Amino acid sequence: MTKISLVIALVVVMASAACSREHHVNISAAYATQDCNKANTQFDLNQCAQANFESADRKMNEMLRAVMEAKDDESAKAQLREAQHAWTERRNRECNEQVGPRDQGGSIWPMDYATCLEQKTAERIRELQKDL
């Protein structure tokens, strides 16, 4: 290769890298959690699990907004909204089935339900991360 060919190839590679960085959104899939092992009562455990779910839910919504903003096509955005709505319904249904009825779950039910919601939401965060 001649020097000019090398220079042209280098310019093309650098321009390509710059373009890909311009459209790539770097959002961490991590979200803040509380250490529920420090809780002393079931009420505290329930509150801790709920706080962790809410943190995951905020992160998921942040990721969803970033994925939505990365889409240029309104049809793709509408499809993502529909998919997210279906995912939320499925998550809630699966956690209801897994944890069982609230009136039969006792004082631990809120913790179990929030933990299920958090785990499924964390999975969704990882799925959305792949779309960025």
Whole-prediction pTM value? 0.78
4 within domain boundaries = no
Residues 47-76 have pLDDT tens digits of 999 999 999 999 999 999 999 999 999 999
Domain count, the chain: 1
Output the pLDDT for position 115: 97
- The confidence score (pLDDT) of residue 129 equals 93
Residue 77: which domain range? 29-130
pLDDT beneath 70: ranges in the chain: 1-28
In a domain, residue 14? The reply is no
Question: What pLDDT shows up at residue 26?
Answer: 53
**CATH code, domain carrying 85:** 1.20.1270.180
- Domain assignment present for residue 63? The answer is yes
In a domain, 122, yes or no: yes
> Largest Cα–Cα distance of the chain, in whole Å?
78
- Are 132 and 63 a contacting pair, CB within 8 Å? yes
